[in-house]
Structure 1
Amino acid sequence: MLDKVIVGSEEWCSFPTFNIPAIKARVDSGAKTSALHAVNIIPFDKDGEKWVKFDVNPLQNNGKTIISCEAKVVDKRIVKSSSGSRESRYVIRTNIVLNEASWEIEVTLTNRDSMGYRMLLGREAMSGRILVDPEKNFLLGQPTTEKLEEYYNKSKSDKKGLRIGLLASNPELYSNKRIIEAGELRGHEMHFLNLKYCYMKLDANQPEIHYRGGRVLNDFDAVIPRIRPSMTYYGCALTRHFESLKVFSLNSSTAIAQSRDKLYSLQLLLNNGVDIPTTGFANSPLDTNDLIKMVGGSPLIVKLLEGTQGKGVVLAETKKAAESVINAFKSLNANILVQEFIKEADGKDLRLFVVDGKVVATIQREAIPGEFRANIHLGGTATVIKPTIEEKRIAIKAAKAMNLKVAGVDIIRSAKGPLLLEVNSSPGLEGIEGATNKDVAGEMIKAIEKHFNYK
């Protein structure tokens, strides 16, 4: 017992492995596991093992002091917080220093912005080493304000690169990890910003964007919105708020919103001279027969306007089937498009990836044999293909018409020539980078650098 250190209910400790010289911890023998405040948590592979990158704001109510860290993952487990909620967390091991003694502990990574302490020291880490006097605080001393400034007040002139936020929902998605990686390789400070954790202050004098726990996101140079369809309304509102704060958005909120409106986007494309498969739209089921004739009869494609890519798409092979599908959707008050079926495409389409007015990569996608594919990509194999000059022209023209700096443009080859199917404002990178071995994520970062004349 004499060898054990007596501590109060809160103490200062350090993590030399992460270059964190001082962080205030809540000493809690009621908690089994220790927890460290971490944001921008990004998993990655290193030498065949799972690692994780994360940022630590070591000082409470100070979002500008950021320590970037990485560690090997030892586990991922469900942890029950003091509020009773359950959360899946990465678990790492690192050395903690307390009163000049150092030993290895297990730590879970979680956003503790809403908590009073950046660090929670649980009983597993204390076992055999520490006794707690809950009536006392800082029995081991605490750093002065001047000392903390000395530790963390690094000159901003030493900071290089741009501060870029990736607005998305899933940090483990290939595309999101690649964009973070590409930005860091080019020397920028990259941050994953979960859309659901952001909220806005609308104010004439001091508009702000806050992150979970109250951190103010007021110092970003640029954001890259990658908004899933279910988050379109909120994601566009958030992107628009960043834009009002003079933060550059790689794809603007207006461009994203109009790209998600299938009917409006097709009208925009036609108004800009881009050919599409013949398409019909009607409000009343009484016009079903003429609607079918208008697009060339059966077989035809029926698409839900609110459907996401590859979903809400039905191939009606006969006139009777087409009438049944259209009337079924109409009875549910669902808005639909009907579109001619391009039989000669034979289950294939092209995905041209456009960045800043240039086609940077192209693949041909072919459906899995026996699976339905209706003028739209539903999965299968991807192969490298050289697009024609006309196909590249259409892709560039389509991206420009939609005002998108980054776009996945889907084109189908028909007897009438290339026809545009869809323009995606948050195109995935895995298939096209895997097939072409091109650094598409890097091209996206270069487009941001070009806007800032960054060299």
Structure 2
Amino acid sequence: MPSEQYRDKIIVGSEEWVQLPHLGMPAVKARVDSGAKTSALHAFNIQPFRRAEQPWVSFEVHPLQGNRTVAVRCEAQVIDRRVVRSSSGSSEQRYVIRSPMRLGDQVWEIELTLTNRDSMGYRMLLGREAMTGRVLVDPAEHMLLGRIRDTELHDMYGVVKSSPTGLKIALLASNPELYSNQRLIEAGEERGHEMSFLSIKDCYIKLDDENPEVHYRGGHILRELDAIIPRIRPSVTFYGCALTRQFESMGVYVQNTAAAISQSRDKLFSLQLLIKSGLDIPVTGFANSPMDTKELIEMVGGAPLIVKLLEGAQGRGVVLAETKKAAESVINAFKAVKANLLVQEFIKEAGGKDLRLFVIDGKVVASIQRAAAPGEFRANVHQGGTATVIKPTPEERRLAVKAAKAMGLAVAGVDIIRSKSGPLLLEVNSSPGLEGIERATEKDIAGMMIAAIEKQVKRTV
């Protein structure tokens, strides 16, 4: 028999539907997390203002996960601004509001912090402060208070299903769950296009000079596509580029060509192309024999220096060697396993920071500065670093545009480091991630990529 103190409490599972009636949301799926102190609500376009001399905030919410076409605009009084540490360990200062919440048949007021949760599995997090004294959690269960069908959600939010009337665009990639891939599918659908995801490993090709084809699992022949967005991970570059070339031979527009992707993925070749185009890079050395190690180190100005595996990506396979002895050890260890590597001068004045400039069709559309976590160095900005909006100089913009052009890329993430001699090119990425730059700049980069396809395909029709 449960004791009296538990009889009036609501029993919930690990996820439940809640209502936020004063914010205009009849249903939001919430992750119930007693390990989190505060509750959080997905919000974007957050704008502070004053009303009757009091701080207020306006914001928009996509209340349905995986659906960016439904947006609810809200206003609420700000009761606090506080620093909240996420589960990943990063800290963020957030606005805090109060709002009534209905859970089951009970309504009470809770505090909510506002943050962009586009990359999270739930639009709302229900923390323990909001549940104390009212709720018991059974983490092994979910939706104990009832389920809501998609048709009911569509009725609640006035969603009208319409048939796509635009282009047929396919995303050629490996993981449909990645933020960047989901955003591109959503952005295309928002603009009225028929979007599909093609898993690289499930495609195969027919080589025929008269009738080249790409087949998909189950024998389905891919026909009548207007455009392909290749998002090829490094481990499948060879096969992904073979598929991309096949679509090109079929007359399908591809946003980045196979040739451009291939040469951008070859770190040594890409640096040679950049130099050939008259663009500045850090002093870099390359050698095959361990006998050349000492000369290689001196070639780039000695230690400290950076050692990069040619096959590495996203900051992996990159080592900072702070002393000459450490550099010799790292280089010889890599060469012992027959790994190809580059040795590059270390730009101390950069302070563990670099710039990512996002280029679409010869124009810089967004830029951020990425800083490595404390105690890390610049290569690790890809892994746990922070991103902030920054305004690049005209010289940095020109450098990024020229670098993308040198690689032949219509869409590119260009990495630049600031040195005392001016900006230097580090790398040109043919499948730049969207999450960090979209969240930092609050720009619809995915929508810009789709708009660029629209212009190119209409030009060729």
Shorter-normalised TM-score: what interval? 0.5 to 0.7
1:290 aligned residue (287, 292, 295) = 295
Give 2:169's aligned residue: 164
Cα pair 1:222 1:249 within 8 Å, conserved:
yes
Distance 1:49 1:164, change over 3 A: closer
- 2:447 is matched by which residue type in structure 1? G
Cα pair 1:304 1:337 within 8 Å, conserved:
yes
Q: Is 1:383–2:388 an aligned residue pair?
A: yes
1:206 aligned residue (208, 211, 222) = 211
Cα pair 2:164 2:193 within 8 Å, conserved:
no
Distance 1:270 1:51, change over 3 A: closer
Cα pair 1:341 1:375 within 8 Å, conserved:
no
1:326 aligned residue (317, 324, 331) = 331
Note the 1:8-407 alignment, pairs <5 A. Answer: 48=63, 50=65, 160-374=165-379, 377-407=382-412
- 2:319 is matched by which residue type in structure 1? V
Structure 1 unaligned spans of 5+: 1-45, 54-72, 74-90, 96-157
Cα pair 2:352 2:376 within 8 Å, conserved:
no
Q: Could you tell me how far apart the structure 2 residues matched to 1:166 and 1:92 are?
A: 30
User: How far did 1:373 drift?
Assistant: 2.9
Q: Could you tell me how far apart the structure 2 residues matched to 1:310 and 1:441 are?
A: 23
- 2:212 is matched by which residue type in structure 1? P
TM-score, normalised to structure 2, is 0.65
User: How far did 1:164 drift?
Assistant: 0.4
Moved >6 Å (runs of 4+): 91-95
Give 2:434's aligned residue: 429
Give 2:160's aligned residue: none
User: How far did 1:283 drift?
Assistant: 1.2
User: How far did 1:52 drift?
Assistant: 8.7
Give 2:76's aligned residue: none
User: How far did 1:286 drift?
Assistant: 0.8
Let me know the Cα RMSD of the aligned residues. Answer: 2.3
Give 1:447's aligned residue: 452
Query: May I ask how many residue pairs the two structures share in their alignment?
Result: 312
Q: Could you tell me how far apart the structure 1 residues matched to 2:150 and 2:448 are?
A: 36
1:7-40: CA deviation from partner (whole Å, max 9, x where unpaired): xxxxxxxxxxxxxxxxxxxxxxxxxxxxxxxxxx
% of aligned pairs identical? 71
Which is higher, the Rg of structure 1 or of structure 2?
Answer: 1
Distance 1:370 1:283, change over 3 A: same
Q: Could you tell me how far apart the structure 1 residues matched to 2:373 and 2:65 are?
A: 32
Distance 1:443 1:49, change over 3 A: closer
Q: Could you tell me how far apart the structure 2 residues matched to 1:352 and 1:308 are?
A: 17
Give 1:411's aligned residue: 416
User: How far did 1:443 drift?
Assistant: 1.1
- 1:447 is matched by which residue type in structure 2? A
Distance 1:51 1:309, change over 3 A: closer
User: How far did 1:453 drift?
Assistant: 2.7
Distance 1:399 1:387, change over 3 A: same
Cα pair 1:366 1:379 within 8 Å, conserved:
no
1:107-156: CA deviation from partner (whole Å, max 9, x where unpaired): xxxxxxxxxxxxxxxxxxxxxxxxxxxxxxxxxxxxxxxxxxxxxxxxxx
SS at match of 1:303: strand
Q: Could you tell me how far apart the structure 2 residues matched to 1:385 and 1:220 are?
A: 37
TM-score, normalised to structure 1, is 0.65
Q: Could you tell me how far apart the structure 1 residues matched to 2:328 and 2:216 are?
A: 49
Distance 1:273 1:286, change over 3 A: same
- 2:312 is matched by which residue type in structure 1? G
- 2:338 is matched by which residue type in structure 1? N
